[in-house]
Amino acid sequence: MADVVVEHGRVAGATGARKRTSLHNALKRKSTVAFFLTLPLILLIALLVLYPALFSIHLATLNKSMQKFVGFGNFTFLFKRETFWMVVKQSCIFAITAVIFKALIGFIVAHFVHNIPAKGQRKWRGMLLVPWVIPPAMSTLAWLWLFDPSYSAFNYTLSLFGIGPVNWLGDAAWARFSIILVNVWYGAPFFMIMYLAALKSVPDQLYEAAAIDGANWWQRIWYVTLPMMRNIIAITTLFSLIVTFANFDIVRILTSGGPLDQTQIFATYAFRVGIESSDIPLGASVSLFMVPILAVAAIFILRDVNKRGNEA
Amino acid sequence: MADVSLRKVVKRYDDVEAVRGIDLEIADHEFIVLVGPSGCGKSTTLRMIAGLEDISDGDILIGGDVVNDVPPKDRDIAMVFQNYALYPHMTVAENMSFGLRLKHYPKAEIKERVTEAARLLDITDLIDRKPKQLSGGQRQRVAMGRAIVRNPKVFLFDEPLSNLDAKLRVQMRIEIKKVHQKVRTTTVYVTHDQVEAMTLADRVVVMNKGCIEQIGTPNELYHKPATRFVAGFIGSPAMNFVPCRLEDVGGSLQIRLTDRIAFTLPPARAARYNALPRTDKLLLGIRPEHLTESHAHLEPGVETFDTVLDVTEPMGMETLVYFGLNGTPICGRVNPNAGAKDGSPMRLAMDLNNMHLLNEATGVVL
């Protein structure tokens, strides 16, 4: 619609073009109009994304009182601290393990749901999405009770078999397990729904052709389903990796990073040093450290997606 | 290579019977075409032979072995699908060799078979391309190549030319026939296009409402249809059906079409139909090519009548003429130089030597 108007305007204005100023001519150009039409969105992105990003970079270069420019001082300080490297390690373990399990469980559940007859499928899809639609702050509180060492349902059940009690959130290994478990519980439905959509887009005849070609169930998954879902898997994994790396609420509510910072990840550690210890520049530096890690992952994953985009 | 037998094969979906106890014997090396309108059960039958659909009742035998419960991968068959079903992430060579790779054939043999099939189908230059980079016809060749390299007992084709344009369809039809002449694999081919059926098949199986109407060579189906359905389905434009009755006039047998039009039957036809009760409601079946312009010298058994043409369709080598007989629309084929024009009167000749007489109630050709 806009194109037509612009074209029309250009033709109509052709005769009087000489009389008009160069500003008028600029305004008549398609690219100028396009720029002005997208300007509100550009401003919105600049305001909500670019400004905070640049401001946090600025903050990361200041001293604790935010009075003095210290350059990479905050980063060199962080790099010397053992706790920081522990946070890096824990964040990587947390995010990678959680994403792998979310993807795996999502894939398996998506397959089951895909094979349920269409009549009952909606009901199952709805129920399986529940963990993802409940605000994580609320559902994590329920998990906090389930993990309680003295009166939780988990420990009670285990006690019936003569096991436990397990100190779910007090022991470092169990605490790491617990936060990953809750994150997987919360995030797997997202993978499930994305994979289900991808599964539905694979033509049945490809499976039939594979079955006739001699492929068994596993070979059909390996040679047909997975290659056909590669782009969705890549994009979902990248998205989930970013969100999981930046996770805050689950760890904050369950362990607050404890015991002894053994479950601290980037976001909770940034909160600890930035807000609780009132060193905002150092907190900003911790947050920014995620960027290069995720950027590298994004480049690798998206480059692959672009390559495959030409196949379908 | 092997023969295929279908014995009282039934397919039920809940309360609906899609295939109603069909019997079919397909000989080794034979090219059989299942043809019929949409929903007649032809694709279901093919999918049951492939093992993609369970059979509700009866037996399917391939090479003498009952395969009712044998999964598709163990039936040693190859199938070409309507939309090709090529794996989009694999190259042409990978698509063609997929089945062989799964069966762990030696690499050298796989390469040899793929190269040979590609040469046969004239797709050697496309071997490293992905399906997306191919045209519809090329994709169909690759799908055929994928079937050929496996050297299966039976080829199954499920409307393989439906997605191609008319010109390419004719070309591919010839290709398929050539390939079959070379590899001689038993082939079951499903189509709704009677021209494909007639041109490709050793024998055609005409299906309707889950049953087999008639099995025969293309010529048999065309010249000796068993039922009204077959008579009407095979041939384009379709056979004309005119309500009629038999009359005895002066010792000869006549067929009366309208109050004004009645023809004396040729002796051979008269002898054939003489025993029929005169009260039966009958249909005269006559193909358009047996309704032509009148000549000065007519052969015995060719009768003329006058009519007014409603519409004419010049086709170049012939002109189709449409007119009514007692309200029944009729199509004839005349010479383009016969002067047929819309709305003009014309004397036409009906070749009763090639007529068919059908029982109107049962649809059986008498």
User: By CA distance, what is A208's nearest residue in B?
Assistant: B52
Q: Higher-confidence residue: A252 or A307?
A: A252
B52 in contact with A, Cβ within 8 Å: yes
Phi/psi for A194 (5° steps) reads -65, -45
Alpha-carbon distance A203 to A219, whole Å? 16
Give the residue from B140, B144, B156 showing the smallest Cα distance to B32.
B156
Q: What are the pLDDT digits (tens) for B276-325? A: 888 778 899 999 999 999 988 888 888 899 999 999 999 999 999 999 98
Contact state of A209 with B81 under an 8 Å Cβ cutoff: yes
Q: Is the pLDDT of residue A163 over 70?
A: yes
Instruction: Using the structure block, give the residue that is written with the tokens 């998506």.
Output: A110
A291 and B68 in contact (C-beta within 8 Å)?
Answer: no
Cβ <8 Å between B89 and A227: yes
B79, A219: Cβ pair inside 8 Å? no
Judge contact between B22 and B206, C-beta under 8 A: no
* Confidence category of residue A108, pLDDT binned at 50, 70, 90: very high
Residue contact A203–B83, C-beta within 8 A: yes
A223 in contact with B at a CB cutoff of 8 Å?
yes
pLDDT-wise least confident of A79-83, A91-95, B103-107:
A79-83
The amino acid occupying position B222 is Y
* Beta-sheet strand order (sheet of B328-334): B311-314, B319-325, B328-334
Q: Which residues in chain B have Cβ-Cβ distances shorter than 8 Å to A215?
A: 73, 98, 102
A72 pLDDT higher than 70: yes
Domains recognised in chain B with CATH numbers: 4-225 (3.40.50.300), 240-359 (2.40.50.140)
The residue of chain A with its CA nearest to that of B147 is A213
Nearest-CA residue of chain A relative to B155? A212
ipTM value greater than 0.90 = no
Class of domain A75-308: mainly alpha
What six digits make up the tokens of B185?
């694999």
pLDDT band at residue A11 using 50, 70 and 90 as cut-offs: very low
**Across the interface, do B83 and A205 touch by the CB < 8 Å criterion?**
yes
Q: Which residues pair with B332 in a beta bridge?
A: B321
A197 with A286: CB under 8 angstroms? no
Could you give phi then psi for residue B103, rounded to 5 degrees? -90, 10
Using a CB–CB cutoff of 8 Å, tell me whether B79 touches chain A.
Answer: yes
Interchain contact, A206 vs B87, CB within 8 Å: yes
Query: pLDDT tens-digit profile of A166-187?
Result: 788 888 888 889 999 999 999 9
Look at chain A and count its residues.
Answer: 312
Residue range B35-39: mean pLDDT, rounded: 89
Cβ pair B52:A224 closer than 8 A? no
Question: Using the beta-carbon criterion (under 8 Å), do A227 and B103 form an inter-chain contact?
Answer: no
What is the mean pLDDT of the segment spanning A28-56?
Answer: 90
Residue showing tokens 């999964």: B71
Is pLDDT of B231 > 50?
yes
**Helix, strand or coil for residue B296?**
coil
Over range A90-119, report the average pLDDT: 91
SS3 state at B192: coil
Give the DSSP H/E element, type plus range, for residue B304.
strand B302-308
Q: Which of A143-147, A170-174, B58-62 has the highest mean pLDDT?
A: B58-62
Please name the helix (run of DSSP H) or strand (run of DSSP E) that holds residue A240, with its range, or none.
helix A226-245
Candidate from B27-41, B265-279, B308-322, B329-343 with smallest mean pLDDT: B265-279
**Do residues B122 and B144 make contact, with C-beta atoms less than 8 angstroms apart?**
no
Residue A233's nearest CA partner among A61, A107, A56 is A107
For the four alpha carbons of A299, A227, A194 and A104, in that order, the dihedral sign comes to negative
Between CA A217 and CA A200 the distance in angstroms is 17
Assign 3-class secondary structure to B203-259.
Answer: EEEEEECCEEEEEECHHHHHHCCCEHHHHHHCCCCCCEEEEEEEEEECCEEEEECCC
CA distances from A184 to A129, A157, A192, B179, B182 (A): 13, 21, 12, 55, 58
pLDDT at A311: 52
**Residue B74 main-chain phi, psi, to 5 deg:** -100, 10
pLDDT value at residue A19: 54
What token pair was written down for A293?
């890690």
Q: Tell which of A206, A207, A212 to mutate to test the B interface (max B CBs under 10 Å).
A: A212
**pLDDT tens digits, one per residue of B196-225:** 899 999 999 999 988 999 999 999 999 999
Q: Model confidence over A129-140: pLDDT tens digits? A: 888 888 888 888
Judged by a CB distance cut-off of 8 A, whether residue A203 touches chain B is yes
Cα dist from A206 to A38, A62, A114, A220, B79, whole Å: 42, 59, 16, 9, 12
- Stronger pLDDT, B44 or A15, i.e. the higher one: B44
User: By the CB < 8 Å criterion, does B39 face chain A?
Assistant: no
Q: Residue A309 pLDDT more than 80?
A: no
pLDDT of residue B168: 82
Check the CA dihedral B247-B249-B255-B256 and report its sign: negative
| pLDDT score at A306 | 62
Alpha carbon distance B305, B303 (integer Å): 7
Q: Which residue has the tokens 């519980």?
A: A185
Q: How high is the mean pLDDT of chain B?
A: 89
Average pLDDT over every residue of B161-187: 86
A219 closest CB neighbour out of B77, B102, B130: B102
Cα A56 to Cα A54: distance, rounded to the nearest angstrom: 5
CA distance A145 to B2: 68
The closest CB to that of B130, out of A214, A224, A311, belongs to A311
The pLDDT value given to residue A20: 59
What contacts B215, CB < 8 A, 6 or more positions away?
B24, B203, B204, B205, B206
Q: Quick check: A310 and B88 CB within 8 A?
A: no
The DSSP result for B21-81, as a single string, is: EEEEEE-TT-EEEEE-STTSSHHHHHHHHHTSS--SEEEEEETTEE-TT--GGGS-EEEE-
Residues of chain B with Cβ-Cβ distance to A201 below 8 Å are none
Q: Quick count: other Cβ atoms within 10 Å of Cβ B100?
A: 22
| B99–chain A Cβ distance below 8 A for any pair | yes
CATH 1.10.3720.10 domain residues, chain A: 75-308
**pLDDT band, very low/low/confident/very high, at B363 (cuts 50, 70, 90):** confident
The whole-number average pLDDT for the span B342-352 is 91
pLDDT surpasses 60 at B67: yes
pLDDT tens digits for range A207-253: 999 999 989 989 999 999 999 998 889 889 888 988 898 888 888 88
| Res A100: pLDDT | 94
Asked if residue A32 has pLDDT above 60, the reply is yes
CB contact under 8 A, A212 and B52: yes
